[in-house]
Amino acid sequence: MKQATRLTLLSRHYCHLCQDMEEALGALAKECGFVLEVLDVDADAALEKRYDELVPVLLHEGHELCHHFLDVGKVRDYLSKIG
């Protein structure tokens, strides 16, 4: 059985853009069958240094899919290519 694709959202608790992206990704995850992992960028100094101004950031295995706003079309296209 194939393991579900895991996407990582780098987020902040007080960030409304992060909350919006996480909510939209929840619906997309149900549709596309991926697992979403949410990480607090402020809890990891290396992540904060690298992604501080870009948050929220959606990643797959270190590959940045989008930042600030969810690009649904780009994420769907990417998932279909790796699928």
Peptide bond into 56 cis (omega under 30): yes
Q: Looking at the predicted structure, is the pLDDT value of residue 55 above 70?
A: yes
> What whole-number distance in Å separates Cα of residue 16 and Cα of residue 35?
21
Helical axes 72-82 vs 16-32, angle rounded to 10°:
40
Where are the extended beta strands (E) located within the chain? 6-11, 35-40, 57-60, 63-67
Which CATH architecture does the domain made up of 6-82 adopt? 3-Layer(aba) Sandwich (3.40)
Q: Domain limits of the chain?
A: 6-82
**What percent of the chain lies above the pLDDT cut of 70?**
98
Question: Taking the complete model, does pTM exceed 0.85, yes or no?
Answer: yes
**Tokens describing residue 57:** 């950031």
